[in-house]
């Protein structure tokens, strides 16, 4: 048995057999059916992602998605398996393992979508070229889940800004892959810095494809947060680093072994090194304990940020970062469950409670900043006529070019629930509170990386509206009820307590030896 690329020359080999697709991908299926008239032969789909199991409809045809083990029941003499996945080589190995001794009788093809076909051509062209002193950066989720501002953010941006600050661009070409390069004109005049569109991977303009694939094929290092599929076919001598979003409390939604998908990832402690090696399927030596790049921002808040956002002056600022539950966009892979609330927020879930909270804040001369998750917007939360409660959404921070961790440096206290931002914030050694009214439901729907999760929350537990009010009062009176627990956990959850994470990352990879920074 061999893996074969599906082409117009061999499409006839599928005649007389049913088709099993490997991996549910509507975009791949769309391109497949656009190129070849095979939809009537597609009988079912097999997928390793448990969230995809079930039935879905494509172009009025209902298709059932089964788990990987279903292949054991398939008559491989009457079935052609077509892999519709970016990671077709990885998928091929999984299929062989399940089919076992029947593998030699199976016909297995992979369908190369337009991006894969372009990349195969460019990879072959650059195969014998030497890698260049070039570093590629990318942040945010897959292009299909694009949210404005997330493509130039997070740990990747923090590391990039540090690289500029130490003059790394004099030694390396720094390349960003973003949605719209025109939005970053302010960086145009900086030496050895460029912004390319990741959409150029499938551009009809050869000049755009040329510059995109030159960077992808010849960069020595590729840094990214979240989406890493674009770097799936990198050469052995290229180094891919998953900077990720944060070390938090929530576990991974769907387990996929990433050992071969990137060379390294960064974490904040030995504790999280073991956790991430487990939940991401990595070898322990792939996990670099450096601290997160964006944690450096916490130590350097800028006064101008508060002015840009027109935040009123107050004695104290309380930040609330509600964890993502669901969204009007209905991103099925991210929705946990619907949040029943008149205001769109947990616990402070009626307009009357919102008004009462606002009055307490007014009396204490405090401002509550509610920073919504990037997949949500202010239409989902209702705090109209509240003078001391201010909503911030992703668009606000994008407009004024403010990273959330830099803004968090102004917080006198933080309200969170299960967000990794709370773990970052621990470094400032300030009061934290956790909204836990749905902790059992959340554990059932998503789950946590720690057993007995409440033992690992470095702050005050909030279950009722009265608890919220009490935390506000405590903060106003400079009373830090859970300082001892927080400091104890900080020692376990963070190896470092400074603003040097970016330096440590570059040192660990040998990009900038300590004596050169």
Do 272 and 410 share a domain, yes or no?
A: no
Do 227 and 318 share a domain, yes or no?
A: no
Do 282 and 420 share a domain, yes or no?
A: no
Token pair 């997949």 is found at 375
Do 273 and 323 share a domain, yes or no?
A: no
In this structure, what DSSP letter does residue 294 have?
T
Do 362 and 462 share a domain, yes or no?
A: yes
Q: Is residue 332 part of a domain?
A: yes
At 334, the pLDDT band (50, 70, 90 cuts) reads very low
Mean pLDDT of 305-333: 75
Do 128 and 267 share a domain, yes or no?
A: yes
d(CA 65, CA 48) in angstroms, rounded, equals: 10
Q: What is the CATH number for 18?
A: 3.40.50
Q: Is residue 435 part of a domain?
A: yes
Do 381 and 439 share a domain, yes or no?
A: yes
Of 112, 129, 157, the last residue of a domain is 112
Q: Is residue 480 part of a domain?
A: yes
When divided into structural domains, the chain yields a total of 3
Q: Is residue 477 part of a domain?
A: yes
Q: Is residue 418 part of a domain?
A: yes
Q: Is residue 22 part of a domain?
A: yes
Do 485 and 444 share a domain, yes or no?
A: yes
Long-range CB contacts for residues 156-161, cutoff 8 Å, separation at least 24: 156/223, 156/224, 156/225, 156/243, 156/293, 157/294, 157/403, 158/292, 158/293, 158/294, 158/296, 158/297, 158/403, 158/405, 158/502, 159/223, 159/243, 159/293, 159/502, 159/505, 159/506, 160/223
d(CA 509, CA 43) in angstroms, rounded, equals: 47
At 375, the pLDDT band (50, 70, 90 cuts) reads low
Q: Are 24 and 56 in contact (CB under 8 A)?
A: yes
Closest CA to 267 of 9, 517, 496: 496
At 353, the pLDDT band (50, 70, 90 cuts) reads very high
Task: Please give the pLDDT value at position 122.
Answer: 98
Do 108 and 123 share a domain, yes or no?
A: no
79-131 pLDDT per residue, tens: 999 999 999 999 999 999 999 888 888 999 999 999 999 999 999 999 999 99
Q: Is residue 498 part of a domain?
A: no
Token pair 């202010």 is found at 378
Q: Is residue 35 part of a domain?
A: yes
Q: What is the CATH number for 464?
A: 3.40.50.12580
Do 216 and 336 share a domain, yes or no?
A: no
Of 271, 296, 321, the last residue of a domain is 296
d(CA 156, CA 137) in angstroms, rounded, equals: 6
Of 112, 140, 160, the last residue of a domain is 112
Q: Whole domain around residue 92: which residue ranges? A: 3-112
Do 366 and 259 share a domain, yes or no?
A: no
Do 128 and 97 share a domain, yes or no?
A: no
Q: What is the CATH number for 125?
A: 3.40.50.11820
Tell me the CA distances in angstroms from 298 to 67, 227, 236, 341, 427, one per residue in order: 43, 24, 35, 32, 8
22-47 pLDDT per residue, tens: 999 999 999 999 999 999 999 999 99
Which sign, positive or negative, has the C-alpha torsion 421, 425, 426, 430? Answer: negative
């Amino acid at each position: 048995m061999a893996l074969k690329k599906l082409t117009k020359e061999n499409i006839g080999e599928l005649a007389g057999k049913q088709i099993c697709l490997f991996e549910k991908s509507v975009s791949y299926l769309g391109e497949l059916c656009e190129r070849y008239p095979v939809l009537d032969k597609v009988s079912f789909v097999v997928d390793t992602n448990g969230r995809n199991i079930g039935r879905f409809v494509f172009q009025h045809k209902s298709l059932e998605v089964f788990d990987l083990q279903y292949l054991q029941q398939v008559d491989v003499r009457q079935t052609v398996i077509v892999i519709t996945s970016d990671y077709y080589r990885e998928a091929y190995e999984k299929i062989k393992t399940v089919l076992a001794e029947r593998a030699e009788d199976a016909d297995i093809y992979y369908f190369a979508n337009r991006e894969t076909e372009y990349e195969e051509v460019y990879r072959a062209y650059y195969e014998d070229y030497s890698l260049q002193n070039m570093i590629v950066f990318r942040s945010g989720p897959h292009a299909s889940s694009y949210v404005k501002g997330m493509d130039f953010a997070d740990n990747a941006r923090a590391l990039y800004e540090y690289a500029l600050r130490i003059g790394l661009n004099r030694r390396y070409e720094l390349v960003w892959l973003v949605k719209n390069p025109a939005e970053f004109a302010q960086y145009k005049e900086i030496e050895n810095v460029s912004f390319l569109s990741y959409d150029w991977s499938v551009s009809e303009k050869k000049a755009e494809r040329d510059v995109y694939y030159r960077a992808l094929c010849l960069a020595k290092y590729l840094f990214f947060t979240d989406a890493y599929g674009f770097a799936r076919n990198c050469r052995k001598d290229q180094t891919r680093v998953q900077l990720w979003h944060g070390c938090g409390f929530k576990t991974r939604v769907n387990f996929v072994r990433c050992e071969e998908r990137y060379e390294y990832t960064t974490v904040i402690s030995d504790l999280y090194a073991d956790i991430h090696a487990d939940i991401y399927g990595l070898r322990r030596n792939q996990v670099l304990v450096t601290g997160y790049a964006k944690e450096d921002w916490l130590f350097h808040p800028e006064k101008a940020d508060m002015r840009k956002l027109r935040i009123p002056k107050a004695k104290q600022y309380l930040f609330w970062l509600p964890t993502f539950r669901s969204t009007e966009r209905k991103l099925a892979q991210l929705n946990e469950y619907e949040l029943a609330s008149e205001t769109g927020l947990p616990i402070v879930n009626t307009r009357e409670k919102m008004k009462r909270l606002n009055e307490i804040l007014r009396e204490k001369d405090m401002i509550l900043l509610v920073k919504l998750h990037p997949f949500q917007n202010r239409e989902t939360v209702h705090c109209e006529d509240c003078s001391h409660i201010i909503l911030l959404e992703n668009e606000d921070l994008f407009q004024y070019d403010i990273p959330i961790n830099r803004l968090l440096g102004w917080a006198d206290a933080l309200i969170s629930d299960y967000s990794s931002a709370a773990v970052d914030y621990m470094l400032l050694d300030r009061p934290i509170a956790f909204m836990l009214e749905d902790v059992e439901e959340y554990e059932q729907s998503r789950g946590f990386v720690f057993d007995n999760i409440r033992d690992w929350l470095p702050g005050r537990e909030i279950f009722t509206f009265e608890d919220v009010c009490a935390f506000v009062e405590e903060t106003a009176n400079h009373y830090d009820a859970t300082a001892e627990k927080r400091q104890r956990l900080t020692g376990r959850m963070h190896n470092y307590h400074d603003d040097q994470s970016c330096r440590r990352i570059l040192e660990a990879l040998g990009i900038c030896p300590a004596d050169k920074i």
